[in-house]
Amino acid sequence: MLRGMAGNRSLTVVIAAYNEEAALPEMHRRLSAVLDGLDAGSRVLYVDDGSRDGTWGVLQRLAEADPRVSLLRLARNFGKELALTAGLDHVDTDAALVLDADGQDPPELIPAFVAKWREGFDVVYGTRTRRDGETWLKRLTAAGFYRVMTRLSDTPIPRDTGDFRLMSRPVLDALRQLRERQRFMKGLFTWVGFRQVSLPYERAPRLAGGSKFNYWRLWNLALEGITSFSTVPLRLATYVGVLTALVAFAWGVWIVARTLLWGDPVQGWPSLMTVVLFLGGVQLVALGIIGEYLGRLYVEVKQRPLYLVSEARLPR
Ligand code: UDP
Ligand code: MG
């Protein structure tokens, strides 16, 4: 089909949408204008991530009007990472480009991504130079997260990188082999390697609606990122344990010596409580860390499918 058209290689733009009925028509208008001017065969694949509003209806109308558009509808809201996985699994062109449905990643930049791809890069990822319409708290927590991630993980995740990126066929094939359930896409994208290049861009405010990610979701995404790309927290538990044991040993020696020298009138309830509570706390934290990993292991061994598609409208 589109694949391998002489010289101009083909591209699929993958867009995950969750309750985006307000933003999609404008988004698609801008996207079509860009794709019309592109000298490569192009398609658009919208993944409806179990939206509760009129998103699916809007998407169907877009597909009626534009033969480039194909659709996937997931059986429920699986979350952005899995929605993107579903989309990327169904791409059969020479490259895929991931875009947000809310217009925050400007489609007007697609030609720049394609140009880098033509230069021979396999992954072109957008790096945000500015974050308009985001609170200082979000910027601060995002910066903190990237710092922690770089420290903890062997797979350094480029700072301020979203999911706005172009990936060539070899990278898509590599990603398809990573079937882990706990999908931290930014990490997986980096993990696969290949020739990667950054493309700086300014992240615009949303076209409509609000972010689907509140701080609780972001915190969980951060935990996902850390636990799936680092086992340092487990080792940390060991070190804290060793340190506590050493301090306890030294203190024990001191208590015995003191008792031998000066005797031991009954005393020491406050210190006893302090030690018991401290050790209890440290042990619970260590158990919690083990639990985080064990829980993920449990989910992983169940080997459930990553996502379920309820309806599809794909090119034949
Ligand atoms: N999204 C999705 N499933 C979800 C949450 C979000 O497919 O469960 C999509 C959403 O429609 C948008 C993209 O992921 O296209 C980014 O979401 P959002 O703009 O809310 O995130 P932010 O830009 O605030 O990081
Ligand atoms: Mg957004």
The 3-class SS string of 12-32 reads EEEEEECCCCCCHHHHHHHHH
By mean pLDDT, which of 147-156, 170-179, 271-280 is the weakest?
A: 147-156
Give the closest ligand to the alpha carbon of residue 77: 1
Strand residues in the chain grouped as ranges (E): 11-17, 42-48, 69-74, 95-100, 123-131, 161-168, 196-203, 309-313
Q: At 312, give phi and psi (nearest 5°).
A: -145, 150
Strands 69-74 and 161-168: unpaired
Give the closest ligand to the alpha carbon of residue 15: 1
Cβ distance 10 to 2 under 8 Å?
yes
> Does the CB atom of residue 238 touch ligand 1 within 6 A?
no
Cα–Cα distances in angstroms (integers) from residue 256 to residues 62, 173, 243, 249, in the given order? 80, 65, 20, 11
Please report, for the chain, the start and end positions of each structural domain, with discontinuous segments joined by +. 10-214+305-313, 231-302
C-alpha angle 144/224/229, rounded to 5°? Answer: 85
Cβ distance 12 to 89 under 8 Å?
no
ipTM topping 0.85: yes
Select from 18, 77, 137 the residue to mutate for testing ligand 1; criterion: most ligand atoms less than 8 Å from CB.
18
Å from CA of 233 to ligand 2 middle: 30
> Does the CB atom of residue 49 touch ligand 1 within 6 A?
yes
> Does the CB atom of residue 213 touch ligand 1 within 6 A?
yes
For residue 9, the number of C-alpha atoms closer than 13 Å in the C-beta half-sphere is 15
Task: Using the Cα atoms of residue 139, residue 144, residue 147 and residue 153 in order, give the sign of their dihedral.
Answer: negative
Range 85-90 average pLDDT: 93
For residue 288, the number of C-alpha atoms closer than 13 Å in the C-beta half-sphere is 7
Categorize the per-residue pLDDT at 59 as very low, low, confident or very high, splitting at 50, 70 and 90: very high
pLDDT mean across residues, the chain: 84
Asked if the model's pLDDT at residue 187 lies above 70, the reply is yes
Nearest CA to ligand 1 atom 2: 80
> Does the CB atom of residue 104 touch ligand 1 within 6 A?
yes
Asked if the model's pLDDT at residue 316 lies above 70, the reply is no
Burial 194-231 (b: 16+ CB within 10 A, else e): eebebbebebbebbeeeeeeeeeeeeebbebbbbbbbe
Distance CA 4, CA 88 (A): 18
Give the closest ligand to the alpha carbon of residue 83: 1
Burial 259-275 (b: 16+ CB within 10 A, else e): eeeeeeeeeeeeeeeee
Nearest alpha-carbon partner for 82 in 299, 316, 230: 299
> Does the CB atom of residue 99 touch ligand 1 within 6 A?
no
What single letter denotes the amino acid at residue 245? A
What is the chain's length? 316
Å from CA of 162 to ligand 1 middle: 11
Distance CA 156, CA 298 (A): 26
| Per CATH, domain 10-214+305-313 is 2.102.10.10 | no
Å from CA of 206 to ligand 2 middle: 6
Select from 21, 134, 212 the residue to mutate for testing ligand 1; criterion: most ligand atoms less than 8 Å from CB.
212
> Does the CB atom of residue 83 touch ligand 1 within 6 A?
yes
Range 86-95 average pLDDT: 92
Range 242-263 average pLDDT: 87
Q: Which residue has the higher pLDDT, 30 or 189?
A: 30
Residues in the 5 Å CB sphere of ion ligand 2:
100, 102, 104
**Per-residue pLDDT, 163:** 82
Categorize the per-residue pLDDT at 131 as very low, low, confident or very high, splitting at 50, 70 and 90: low
